[in-house]
């Protein structure tokens, strides 16, 4: 069995653009090149090798999370080489089977299951996220690195400003942020555009945190919070946004979440879908679903646009911010690594070594995924209207987005 695994890894080594080394459980070694390796993989036992043989790159990550496979050296290079060689895209019926099993166990068909899935990730606590997200918006979504941007804080302000401009937000207009996170968009919309904002969120911990922030900023007359699922539509708004929610609705809930955007929006209103999407239809990465985002599913851009058309929404603009997400994840990963001792100290039992391995893998591998020339995963901002927009309902060019006065 180990000889088969060795053959597969040697084939990867011949395609790789950088040197690496593998130490197998029996102590034998493999080097794909004579120069010093950028990283070293160390299999600690036969079980780790069996996982890698049966489940490919997912099995290797299973073993790494379990502590039976270690990685020394450049962690980014490990994922860069895996992606450029196609090792992460090799057909594997066992992975497909595990993906179907995950869907059966964690599907978001019910509101209760969707809430539990969301809390698994987003309910880790404000103290945890505050250590590595931007301050003060705490935006946990792709930032916007326009020319001259130097920090994550600037890039996240750019992003919420970009969204506000795209939907032409005006004073006293009502806007709902579906899946509002820690409220960064809500605060920007109120403080910079004098809008009346509502945040919808199913994660109890985040809703409580945002309510505290709203009270502290004395904005209770401008910002309201609803702890509810996106399917629980209660009224219509002048504008609708969701920033990083569509991919969490679930594989079989795409039409429902898009229809909810339409149902929340007044006729003639404008909205924005900001989401991770594939080019082409493919399965969502299994380890992300198993360890990070249970129930999550990344749709293709085409599937999302088809669902929007079926919901009576006109697509006005599509922007791909894939490269921006790589830069955002780079900063998150660096801050997570640097501040790990503080994260661990919050709750040593919850934030243990296994958690650290899972999360550094998630952040770094996603950065390399969005950077990779071989990637078909992107970050889309889709601007839409409810019904066909009138001649005077939206500018005839994008010039207004980049005019003087854009937030720094």
Just list the catalytic residues: 366
Long-range CB pairs of 319-324, under 8 A, 24+ apart, other chains included = 319/380, 319/381, 320/378, 320/379, 320/380, 321/142, 321/144, 321/378, 321/379, 321/380, 321/381, 322/370, 322/375, 322/377, 322/378, 322/379, 323/370, 323/371, 324/142, 324/143, 324/144, 324/145, 324/155, 324/379
Phi/psi at 152 (5° precision): -60, -40
Cis amide prior to 400 (ω within 30 degrees): no
Handedness of CA 259, 260, 265, 269 (dihedral sign): negative
DSSP codes, 320-375: E-HHHHHHHHHHHHHHHHHTHHHHHHH-TTTS-HHHHHHHHHHHHHHHHHHH-TT-
Residues ≥6 apart with Cβ < 8 Å to 149: 155, 158
DSSP 300: B
């Amino acid at each position: 069995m180990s000889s088969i695994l060795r053959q597969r890894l040697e084939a990867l080594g011949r395609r790789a653009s950088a040197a690496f080394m593998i130490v197998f459980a029996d102590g034998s070694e493999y080097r794909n090149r004579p120069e010093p390796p950028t990283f070293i993989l160390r299999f600690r036992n036969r079980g780790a090798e069996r996982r890698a043989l049966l489940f490919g790159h997912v099995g290797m990550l299973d073993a790494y999370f379990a502590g039976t496979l270690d990685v020394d050296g450049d962690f980014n290079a490990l994922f860069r080489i895996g992606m450029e060689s196609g090792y992460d895209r090799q057909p594997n019926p066992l992975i497909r089977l595990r993906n179907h099993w995950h869907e059966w166990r964690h599907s978001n068909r019910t509101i209760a299951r969707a809430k539990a899935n969301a809390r698994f990730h987003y309910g880790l606590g404000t103290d945890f996220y505050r250590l590595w997200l931007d301050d003060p918006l705490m935006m946990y979504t792709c930032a916007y690195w326009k020319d001259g941007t130097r920090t994550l804080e600037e890039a996240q302000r750019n992003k919420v400003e970009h969204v506000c401009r795209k939907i032409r937000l005006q004073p006293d207009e009502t806007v709902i942020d579906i899946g509002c996170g820690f409220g960064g968009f809500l605060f920007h919309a109120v403080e910079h555009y004098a809008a009346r904002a509502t945040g919808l969120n199913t994660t109890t911990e985040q809703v409580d945190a945002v309510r505290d922030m709203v009270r502290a900023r004395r904005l209770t007359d401008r910002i309201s919070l609803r702890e509810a699922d996106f399917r629980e539509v209660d009224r219509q708004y002048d504008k609708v946004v969701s920033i990083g929610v569509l991919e969490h609705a679930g594989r079989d809930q795409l039409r429902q979440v898009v229809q909810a955007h339409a149902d929340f929006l007044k006729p003639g209103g404008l909205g924005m879908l900001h989401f991770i999407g594939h080019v082409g239809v493919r399965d969502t990465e299994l380890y992300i679903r198993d360890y990070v985002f249970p129930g999550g599913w990344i749709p293709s851009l085409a599937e999302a646009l088809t669902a929007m058309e079926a919901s009576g929404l006109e697509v006005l603009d599509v922007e791909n911010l894939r490269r921006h997400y790589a830069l955002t994840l780079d900063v998150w990963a660096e801050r997570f690594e640097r501040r790990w001792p503080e994260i661990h100290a919050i709750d040593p039992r919850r934030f243990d070594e296994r958690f650290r391995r899972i999360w550094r893998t998630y952040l770094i591998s996603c950065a390399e995924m969005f950077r990779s020339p071989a990637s078909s995963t992107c970050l889309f901002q889709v601007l839409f209207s409810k019904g066909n927009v009138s001649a005077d309902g939206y500018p005839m060019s994008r010039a207004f987005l980049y005019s003087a006065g854009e937030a720094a």
